[in-house]
Amino acid sequence: MTLTRKSLRQQIKEILLTRILQGEYRPGDRLIELQIAQEFGTSQAPVRESLRELEALGFVESVPYRGARVRAVSQQELAEVYPVRAAIEEVAARTAAARLAGDVSALEAEIAAMHRAADDGDLYAQVCHDVAFHRLIVDACGNRVLQEVWRSLRIEARTLISVVKTEIEPHHLADMHRPILEALRAGDGDLAGRLLRQHVEFFGELVLKGEHA
């Protein structure tokens, strides 16, 4: 049937994840193993394993003998991410300052891309580049454990939700990243860390205020 290089499990997992992130499956929807297996023309096993992985990633939750459902991300949970993010990214920026050695070209590019996306009115692209900016800093710090923890917060999936809710002027949003970039360019890790922390905390508070769900 289909040409496969990756394992079925991997493929199914990616398809299901896409559907969850794009809202095709809504929170609370049941994900029935045999039903999905039938759709893809596979057996139950790889579907089952996919669901387990998605469970570990926090996108679905399951109860023994009762099956899996798409996990609802509560407003509270969304808000709780920010203090953790802020603390982690502060550490990342502090370490990254030295390791970047003033080379902030990649960060510069992301800010530029944010402006372009703002011009195009492409909210999705804007979020992607925003997240990429933060990820660059996290990656630059060189601490693998920190990187893994940051990824486990699934910022991509959550930022999109946040941005849609808060309605900030897009160009302003892009420019807010500049002071952080300048501090990193100057090699001032302490300052960069403090700025980044405030930056993230600022959005955390926005999300809290925007609780009109």
Q: Which residues bind a copy of itself (CB under 8 A)?
A: 7, 45, 48-49, 52-53, 56, 64, 76-77, 80-81, 83-84, 86-88, 90-91, 95, 143-146, 149, 152-153
Which one of DNA, a copy of itself, none is in contact with 33 (Cβ closer than 5 to 8 A by kind)?
DNA
Does the footprint of DNA cover residue 97 (CB under 7 A)?
Answer: no
Does the footprint of DNA cover residue 19 (CB under 7 A)?
Answer: no
Specify the DSSP class assigned to residue 129. H
Which one of DNA, a copy of itself, none is in contact with 32 (Cβ closer than 5 to 8 A by kind)?
DNA
Place of tokens 């970047």: 100
Q: Which of 16, 20, 42, 177 binds DNA (CB under 7 A)?
A: 42
Does the footprint of DNA cover residue 111 (CB under 7 A)?
Answer: no
Q: Which of 27, 67, 142, 187 binds DNA (CB under 7 A)?
A: 67
CA distance 44 to 37: 5
Closest CA to 138 of 196, 80, 187, 183: 196
Q: Which long-range contacts (CB under 8 A, 24 or more apart) does 167-174 make?
A: 167/210, 168/206, 170/114, 170/117, 170/118, 170/121, 170/123, 170/126, 171/115, 171/118, 173/114, 173/118, 173/126, 173/130, 174/111, 174/114, 174/115, 174/118, 174/126, 174/130
Which one of a copy of itself, DNA, none is in contact with 43 (Cβ closer than 5 to 8 A by kind)?
DNA
Which one of DNA, a copy of itself, none is in contact with 153 (Cβ closer than 5 to 8 A by kind)?
a copy of itself
Kindly list the residues in this chain that would bind DNA in the complex (CB under 7 A). Answer: 7-9, 30-35, 37, 41-46, 48-49, 62, 64-68
